[in-house]
Amino acid sequence: MVPPMGLVFPALGADPPPRPRRCDAVATIAGASRGDRRGTDLARACDVSSGARLAAASVCLLLCGGRTAAHAQDAAEELSPEDQALLDMAMKGEVIEVWAERPNKPFDRDTELRITGAELARRGVTDLAQALDYLPEINVRAVSRGGKSIDVRGARKGSVKVLIDGVPIDDPYRGNLDLSSIPVTDIVEVRVSTSPASPIDGTGGPGGVIEVHTRDAIGARWIGVRADVNTLPQALGSASARSMISEHWAARVSATGDLGSRDIPAVMPSGAATSLDEARRTASGALRTEYRRGSRGLVADLTLHTGGYLVPPSETETDAITVVDDDDSGRLGVTADDELSGWRLQLRGYAGLQRRDTLFYPDAAMAAPSSREKVEAESQGGAFLVNRPVGDFELIGSAAVDSEHADVEAGTATSGGRATIGALAAGSKFVHGPVRVDAAGGLALPIDVGASPWPEAKLTGKLSPHRVVTARLVGGYKGRLPTLRERFESNGNDALGPEKVLFAEAGVAIDKNTWISLDAAGWARRVNGMIRFVPGETMLVNVGETDMIGADGRVTVMPYAPVRGGGSLSLVEAKSQDLGDDAVDRLPGRRGDLWLAGDWRERAGAMVRYRYTGTFVDQGVQLDDYWLLDASSYYWVTRQIMGGLRVDNALDARYLERAGGVVGLGRVVLLTLQGTWE
């Protein structure tokens, strides 16, 4: 991309820019990451170098000093992973602008930066589901009531914790969020952990963590607009703006809209073929207010959403039609940070409300619904985190509680209830030279669901024998309660118990290297009490132990070059004592991709990706494997305006996505126009 105005770091080995007139504020990495979150250390490095951490001093050498980038790299070999990531961005020529101060986080999850908002914009990605589809360990799939859901190494539904700026956003009834409902306009970076969440991070997350960072309200005045149209047909639009209100207060407002008129093949009662209009309509708005003064900060986020649509399966032989008539939700999250006598403190709270009206029609005539489901659900929760550095150690503690309630009306039957769970945890982080160890233990405390408390733990060890090589070992034990839908829907089971997961992983990463970037790992997961349907049962049950074992890896050749390429491969196998082989539906045993990307003078670029999905079983039927070819390109017309073109399934492969004749989307062409002004 053509960078906005600001202080631009040179590439590795180039001469640094001249020292700016003032270097006493902090940094925002514009257009690529949320670098403004590293502000405190950078400010200390520039203002009081004798008391600064080596990481900030190294970055500030590039920003303010007279040394070369190569010298700064040599000085940074003992950086923490977070600070090294910031320096790496600087080395790769990311843009850093000087603004206001941001306190350190009291708890850094072991999620890894996987893709930035700038990269998503260049690839024409419109929502979070498409963004995650670029990652080899994550399988994005269509769900029966519309939208997209994900599997992380075979873990699904409520097992994957989704966080927006540290606050959980799962659907309070279904337990999994429709990721296609999250636009990318305000996404700055997506971070992922394919291992269980730490007990420090509160309740749930035995299958992994998806962490989305959005644009701060504090910073330079900024306006962004985006419009997308595709051949489904579908039109999407979004706009976002932020501005300082006073010296310490700022606000950011966002709005998005989505209209779809896709034709969905259907069969009339007479047997004649017809088509139905998806009639997709969604709209959402968000308001963020933010206060920051020294180490003290306060952030409040309000999000409202409304929508409705006719649910695929697209191109299906199934006669039944499902219509989501109204899907309305609202969410408020508040986070407060402070530092007191060397202790970093954070308090988080959230509340959400959802109303969803779903109509079920027996056929495409849609004369009268055969049944109707009305759901009203709400959720509340909060967490308190505290930590303190003590030499090479960092002591961490947390307490959290999450509560959900739903009332479900299905025909003449009504059901519903509440599920509440608390968590207490303590841990420590140890960093010394090439060694890093994160250890945490805690206790999950179900309150009103008839389950007994259980222990939780996670241990991560990393060793970097060389600046570009890191080996890791990860072990964890984490659980989750059944979702309200699993308990109270028509084929649910109020007597379901929790799922508990034992996890282990060994891996190695090669990074910060001009020639190659690589990450490979082998892992194993044992799920005790997996919640699912089994043959002969009419409701969900907890099955016995299910073992999953797998390996995945990704490689990039010449990662910082104008032309680069790479690939990924993910292998997994699932077996169960009760269900035998292929114990998890819709879990491909092999997935992978090959890709080639290039950029020209930071003004234009393109990417071609060929991805593979192996055979898998859906409702007892084995579906064939398939290959898909995708391509995307972008071009900066001016310094503020970018156009993009993306083609999904360019060869128009007609593969079965679900059992019962549900065919996946054919070729889809998308055009994007995006503008940003500061």
Q: Give every strand in the sheet of 7-8, ordered side by side.
A: 7-8, 95-99, 26-30
Per-residue pLDDT reduced to its tens digit, 628-677: 999 999 999 999 999 999 999 999 999 888 777 778 888 999 999 999 99
pLDDT, mean of residues 361-366 = 88
**Mean pLDDT (whole number) for 350-358:** 92
Averaged pLDDT, 119-140:
81
CB of 468 within 8 A of CB of 512?
yes
What is the pLDDT at residue 77?
A: 41
Q: Which residue has 């005790």 as its token pair? A: 528
**Per-residue model confidence (pLDDT) at position 548:** 95
Judge whether residue 103 has pLDDT over 90: no
More confident residue, 585 or 426: 426
Q: Is the pLDDT of residue 284 over 80?
A: yes
Please give the average per-residue pLDDT across 418-432, as a whole number.
Answer: 95
Axis-axis angle for helices 81-91, 54-64 (nearest 10): 10
| Residue 15 contacts residue 56 (beta carbons within 8 Å) | no
Structure tokens at 278: 């998806």
**For strand 160-164 and strand 208-214, is the pairing parallel, antiparallel, or unpaired?**
parallel
Of 285-294, 428-437, 580-589, the poorest mean pLDDT is in 580-589
Separation between Cα atoms, residue 528 and residue 171, nearest integer Å? 24
Pick 409 or 14 by higher pLDDT. Answer: 409
- Which tops the pLDDT comparison, 23 or 585? 585
Residues 548-558 have pLDDT tens digits of 999 999 999 99
Measure CA of the first residue to CA of the last residue in the chain; give whole Å. 15
Instruction: Give the Å distances, CA to CA, from 188 to 92, 121, 128, 166.
Output: 17, 10, 12, 14
Query: Residue 343: pLDDT above 70?
Result: yes
Is it the case that residue 30 has pLDDT exceeding 90? no
- What backbone phi and psi angles, to 5 degrees, belong to 70? -65, -40
**Domain spans, the chain:** 7-99, 211-265+282-677
More confident residue, 432 or 513: 432
Q: In the 3-class helix/strand/coil scheme, how is 574-587 assigned residue by residue? A: EEECCCEECCCCCC
pLDDT digits (tens, 9 = 90+) for 170-213: 777 776 566 666 667 788 888 889 999 999 999 999 999 988 88
Residue 464 confidence (pLDDT) above 80? yes
Mean pLDDT across the stretch 109-114? 80
371-393: per-residue pLDDT in tens? 899 999 999 999 999 999 999 99
- In the structure encoding, which two tokens stand for residue 293, read together? 């003064």
What pLDDT is attached to residue 491?
77
In the structure, what pLDDT confidence band is assigned to residue 98 with cuts at 50, 70 and 90?
Answer: very low
pLDDT above 50 (res 9): no
pLDDT band, very low/low/confident/very high, at 8 (cuts 50, 70, 90): very low
Percent of the chain with pLDDT over 90: 48
Q: What angle do CA 23, 29, 35 make, to 5 degrees?
A: 90
- Predicted pLDDT of residue 461: 96
Rounded Cα gap, residues 470 and 455, in angstroms = 30
Q: Is residue 36's pLDDT more than 70?
A: no
Reported CATH class of domain 211-265+282-677: mainly beta
Confidence of residue 267 (pLDDT cuts 50, 70, 90): confident
Which residues, 6 or more positions from 14, have their beta carbon under 8 angstroms from its beta carbon?
68, 69
User: For the segment 595-633, what is each residue's pLDDT rounded down to a tens digit?
Assistant: 999 999 889 999 999 999 999 988 778 899 999 999 999
The per-residue pLDDT for 309 is 87
Block residue for tokens 């310490």: 248
Beta bridge partners of 569: 553, 592
For 51-95, the pLDDT digits (tens) are 333 344 444 444 433 333 333 444 444 444 444 554 555 444 444
Average pLDDT of the segment spanning 261-283? 85
The more confidently predicted of residues 135 and 13 is 135
- The confidence band for 489, taking pLDDT boundaries of 50, 70 and 90, is confident
Q: pLDDT tens-digit profile of 135-177?
A: 877 888 766 555 677 888 888 767 888 888 888 887 777 765 6
